Structure 1
Amino acid sequence: MQSRSQPSQRPSADGSTPSLKRAMTTRHLIMLSLGGAIGTGLFMGSGEVISQAGPLGAVLAYIIGGLIAYMVMLCLGELAVHLPVSGSFGAFAANYIGPGTGYMVSWMYWLGWSATLGTEFTAAAILMQEWFPQTSVWLWTLVFAAGVLLSNLSSTRTFAESEFWLSFIKVATVLLFIVLGFACIFGFIPFQGYESAPLFSNLTS
């Protein structure tokens, strides 16, 4: 009887056991993990969150959400080290809970990202309309969808390199926003409606 903690690997045609090939470097993985946590919601949805919860409430919400995501990733990291598989994390659910659970986890993850991709493309198209107001939303959606498709159909190295630079742009943009925000708060940049630096007067508004 096969052990549930050691799933079997099917031998290839020549009888050898298939192995994984690492095409991504450490810098790719680090930047992917940083950039993957930054979505369009951070750029397009932050204003609504701050208006409803206030600046302090928004910061607390992001801290709590970040801690939850961090703990989930720690758990996934432990599982990946204990049970290295070539599939997705659905394999962990199939191995430790049951094949039905693993099947549903994998499909729900796919469905979730299928819906997310649509919203990401639409959000990116709306942002592009700020610079090119004469173009249609569906045209930019098609352009970004084709870019993502070509990136995923290319080699792992090409995908990793493109994701590295795109993630670098997102991380650099967030850091730039933080620097500009502090410059406005402490009066280094003129802030509309304030004769002096606003400092933290709006933190609990």
Structure 2
Amino acid sequence: MPYSDSDEQQTGVPVSKAVASTAPAAVKILIAGGFGVGKTTMVGSVSEIPPLNTEEQLTVAGLGVDDLDGVEDKTTTTVALDFGRITVSSELVLYLFGTPGQERFWFMWNDLVHGALGAVVLADTRRLESSFAAIDFFESRRVPFVIGVNCFHGQQDRTVSEVKDALDLDPAVPVVMGDLRERRASRDLLLALVNRLMGGRVALPIRH
């Protein structure tokens, strides 16, 4: 695939050990998925600091290159990354890095993934195939991830089982549904990832 490389992914210290230390553990998390699935929206809704984003207006240069099927009304796109931060507890802080979604920017994923302990892959049930590349990317590097189904306008037209079957997911991969414009939905998605990284232990509630 266009984004593959031969470098072995280094995941660093496991979260379960990092959380046990006295100093807050700073954990890098990637927010990935296809074009227009809501990565920038999620980072913006949950970040406790003003999020950094690199959105630019779509131009004629992307015509015939970017796939706008299902997102014809989208006028901007992330060209580098989104960045935000959220404190889970006094022991754990998550640093969120949103990846660009278009295929022409996939080469950047190889750099962004270094040091990441986990990932959130966002999916749109209207075009689930747009999430396949991100799923393959993290599976090939053995980076734990969860699936977040962005229920646009609160509409949920597929069940969790249907999404798992359509994406051919390992049974251990959690699927969380919600409208990612809402902080609570984005928070619950991150908690599902933290819980998986901690080996199924109950995650601490995120500070408000």
When normalised by structure 2's length, the TM-score is 0.23
Higher strand share: 2
